[in-house]
Structures are given as C-alpha cells and as structure tokens.
Amino acid sequence: MKELIQILDQLNRLLNTGEYFALATVVHVDGSAYRRPGARMLIDEQGNWWGGISGGCLEGDLLKKAQLAMRQQTIKNITYDTREDDPFQLGIGLGCQGLIEIIIDPIRDHLVDVAKQLHACLQSGRAQLMQSTWDGNLFEMKEVFDQVSTFVQSGGKQVFIERIPANTRIWIIGNQFDANSLIQLCQQLAWEIHWVGNTLKMKADIRESVRGFYDWSDEMPFRAHDCLVLMTHDFDRDVRFLTDQYPLNEWAYVGILGPTKRLDRIVKQIPSLQVNLLSSPIGLDIGAEGPDEIAISIVSEILAAKNRRDGQPLKFRKSSIHS
C-alpha cells in the first residue's frame, strides 16, 4: 500500500507538468514471481521511476521499453518469461521461475483516469475491485462488484480486474514513550495513524506527523474494521475504553499491552468480554525486548491478522506464499 500511495503522489505531480511519463502494470503472473498482479512502476522521461515490477531484475529493461512507449505514445504489452534457462531469454539466472505480463501505458488522458480512480479508492477506506480496460487507444478504469481478480485478452481488448486493499487505519491509545516507536514503524508502512492520549504529553514532532491526534475526552471518528492498540499503561482507562467503544467484532484487530494476569483482571471487570477476539499479551512471539522490537512484534501480528495468516515461518507453509 505504501508503494501505491507513493506512485499516486508522483503521478499527481507529473500530471501538473508537461513531462512525458508512463505507468507499467503487472496484469498476469504464471508461476513464481517477486511481484503479483497489480504491482506498478511509474517512469518519467528522465528515467526516474517509482514502484517496481520485480525484485530489481527487470526494471532496467522495462525502463528502456517505457521510454520507447513514451516517445511513440503507444501502449506496449511486455512479457518476461523466466521459467526456462534459455540463454536468449531475458531473465536467465534470475531467482524467480515465472511468466510476467505487463502493460505500459504512456497516454496522459488514461493516467488522469487512473489517478482519479485510485485516489477515490484510497479515500473510501475500504477494499475495492477495480477494472482497467484497454481497447485500442481507449481506456477505462472503474469500480466493479462480484468478480475475481483476473486478466483477459480478446483481440485488441484487454481487461484487468484487481483487488486494491484498504489502507490500514490504526488507533494507538496511549502516550507513553513506547507509543512513539509503534507510530514511527506504522509511518514507514504509510498506515493511517490516529493517536489518543494526553496531547500535552505527546512528542510534538510525532504528534504533528499522524493523521489525527485526540485528547482522552475528544470525540473520535472510529470506523468499523479499524485496528486498535491499547497501550495506556492505565488499567481503569483500558476497561473504560473497552466498555464504551465498538463491540470487539467491529474491529479488524484489538491488541492490549500487558501480561496475561492483567487481561484476567480486565475480564473480571467486563465478564462479557470476547477474549477470543483480543490479542493480549499483544504481538507475535519473536522474543521482542524494548519499544522498537515490541513495535515490530505488534505490527507483524496486525499484518498476520489482516491477511489471515498464522505468523509461522514461511519455510513451513505448504501452499503458495501469495495465495
């Protein structure tokens, strides 16, 4: 998501210049590949780029093809096949064994539509299915429903349907120094951060960098499926917060800092609390010590919860990494 936000920011900037630029989109992958359908790479006429379509192996070649597309102002369909060790095929010796299909679009009017639709999607706060259709020199991007991610070619018409996830929206409750580490890590992921606590005790530079900050008594614009991390170090405040706010099943994730004994005390205060929907003690078991490592543990657990993974080492996963 961070990469998509960066690409959108640069795309909006380029649209306000007279420069040529192109957007490359991975539309189909067969076999193993570093990036999946929906990965994008934005290239300007000076050769700068943002995002990527591989782990760095294919970007240099794609850059040349994108510059040709810009000069000719034509859409290019590119295929990289790294499944065989063919000495005449780009990709020999690469770590991935897959076929990657990419569309390079340098048409400004098309990219205006892409910027508009992606901005609307990100602002909506929810995951959406987006359909991109190239038909000759015509292009359309729109939200669709009840379909699955796919890529279909028929004659000169190409249709790509992708799922664009909602950006993670997190509420960090508490203003002790360990909240600072969690906020800074979430910022690196471009998550939407809302911070609650005593605003006078919040570190000023961090406070000004989050999407919103709130004092304990302020009204807070929670949304269903937000993530919630309680790190107040205040037992009574945690109990009050869990009693007054959304039911636990309305949140995407709820974590509470503190040991199991502390959670047992909270349950005695709120007997109806659905403990199975809570993460407490918070975070994955990685032996974290200190605020920075604990922040990594918390963020890892949130990612696992949102992606419906169990946090085990990938070497033990039986199915595809990206499935």
Domain CATH code at residue 196: 3.40.50.720
Regarding beta strands 192-196 and 169-173, do their DSSP bridges make them parallel or antiparallel, or are they unpaired?
parallel
pLDDT tens-digit series, residues 305-319:
999 999 999 999 888
Structural element, H or E, at residue 172:
strand 169-173
Residue with the two structure tokens 């990289």: 80
Half-sphere exposure in the Cβ direction for 70 (13 Å, CA): 20
Using CA atoms, how far apart are residues 174 and 241, in angstroms rounded to an integer?
Answer: 11
Contact status, residue 151 vs residue 159, Cβ threshold 8 Å = yes
Using CA atoms, how far apart are residues 257 and 232, in angstroms rounded to an integer?
Answer: 8
Contact status, residue 143 vs residue 129, Cβ threshold 8 Å = yes
Mark whether 297 and 242 lie in a shared domain. Answer: yes
pTM of the model: 0.87
Mark whether 192 and 290 lie in a shared domain. Answer: yes
Q: Kindly write down the DSSP assignment for every residue of 230-270, as one continuous string.
A: E--S-HHHHHHHHHHS--GGGSSEEEE-S-HHHHHHHHHH-
What is the domain count for the chain? Answer: 2
Mark whether 183 and 293 lie in a shared domain. Answer: yes
Mark whether 120 and 176 lie in a shared domain. Answer: no
Mark whether 214 and 86 lie in a shared domain. Answer: no
Q: Which two tokens stand for residue 5?
A: 């936000």
What integer pLDDT is reported at residue 149 of this predicted model? 85
**Where do the H-state alpha helices sit in the chain?**
2-15, 59-72, 108-124, 177-188, 204-207, 235-244, 260-269, 290-306
Q: Looking at the domain assignment, is residue 152 inside a domain?
A: no
| CA end-to-end span of the chain | 18
Mark whether 175 and 235 lie in a shared domain. Answer: yes
Q: Which two tokens stand for residue 283?
A: 């975070």
Mark whether 300 and 176 lie in a shared domain. Answer: yes
Judged on CB neighbours under 10 Å (0-12, 13-18, 19+), 39 is buried
Q: Looking at the domain assignment, is residue 143 inside a domain?
A: no
Q: Looking at the domain assignment, is residue 134 inside a domain?
A: no
Q: Looking at the domain assignment, is residue 144 inside a domain?
A: no
What integer pLDDT is reported at residue 323 of this predicted model? 66
Q: Report helix, strand or coil for 296.
A: helix
Give the residue among 322, 298, 300, 321 at the shortest CA–CA distance from 311: 300
Range of the domain at 13: 2-127
Contact status, residue 199 vs residue 214, Cβ threshold 8 Å = yes
Q: Which two tokens stand for residue 287?
A: 């032996």
What integer pLDDT is reported at residue 154 of this predicted model? 87
What integer pLDDT is reported at residue 93 of this predicted model? 46
Q: Looking at the domain assignment, is residue 319 inside a domain?
A: no
Using CA atoms, how far apart are residues 133 and 99, in angstroms rounded to an integer?
Answer: 21
Mark whether 100 and 188 lie in a shared domain. Answer: no
Using CA atoms, how far apart are residues 57 and 92, in angstroms rounded to an integer?
Answer: 10
What integer pLDDT is reported at residue 92 of this predicted model? 43
What integer pLDDT is reported at residue 246 of this predicted model? 81
Give the residue among 273, 274, 279, 286 at the shortest CA–CA distance from 305: 279
- The one-digit pLDDT tens for each residue of the chain (323 residues) are 899 999 999 999 999 999 999 999 999 998 877 789 999 999 999 999 999 998 888 899 999 999 999 999 999 999 998 776 555 555 444 555 688 999 999 999 999 999 999 999 988 888 899 999 999 889 999 999 988 889 999 888 999 999 999 999 999 999 999 999 999 999 999 999 999 999 999 999 999 999 999 999 999 999 989 999 999 999 999 999 999 988 889 999 999 999 999 999 999 999 999 999 999 999 999 999 999 999 999 999 999 999 999 999 999 988 887 76
Tell me 166's DSSP state.
P
Q: Looking at the domain assignment, is residue 155 inside a domain?
A: no
Mark whether 187 and 118 lie in a shared domain. Answer: no
| Amino acid (1-letter code) at residue 195 | W
Mark whether 108 and 175 lie in a shared domain. Answer: no
Mark whether 298 and 173 lie in a shared domain. Answer: yes
